[in-house]
Amino acid sequence: MLFPLSSDFVFTDNSDPEKQDVQYSAEELITLLGEDTQYFGSQATHATVAGGQITAMTIVALASTPA
């Protein structure tokens, strides 16, 4: 499914345990990522959809499993 970003969209990056709750607007996120959409894995990304638009996204760090 594809949803447009809402005008008040906020992206929260919690992928770095040292830097939590870093927030970006839609424009900042698009600039930050460029074409690298692999940044969003289904296991680490949470999207909030309201009224058919994405209002917020959060990405979290995945804990590594010892071998």
Q: What is the pLDDT of residue 39?
A: 59
67 part of a folded domain: no
Average pLDDT value over all residues in the chain: 79
Q: Which is higher by pLDDT, 61 or 32?
A: 32
66 part of a folded domain: no
CA–CA distance, 61 with 52 (Å, rounded to integer): 27
Q: In this model, does residue 12 exceed pLDDT 80?
A: yes
32 part of a folded domain: yes
49 part of a folded domain: yes
Contact 19, 10 (CB under 8 A): no
Neighbours of 45 (CB within 10 A): 14
What range defines the domain where residue 53 resides?
5-60
> What backbone phi and psi angles, to 5 degrees, belong to 30?
-60, -40
17 part of a folded domain: yes
How many domains are contained in the chain?
1
Compute the average pLDDT of residues 4-29.
87
Q: What pTM was estimated for this model as a whole? A: 0.67
Q: What is the pLDDT of residue 44?
A: 77
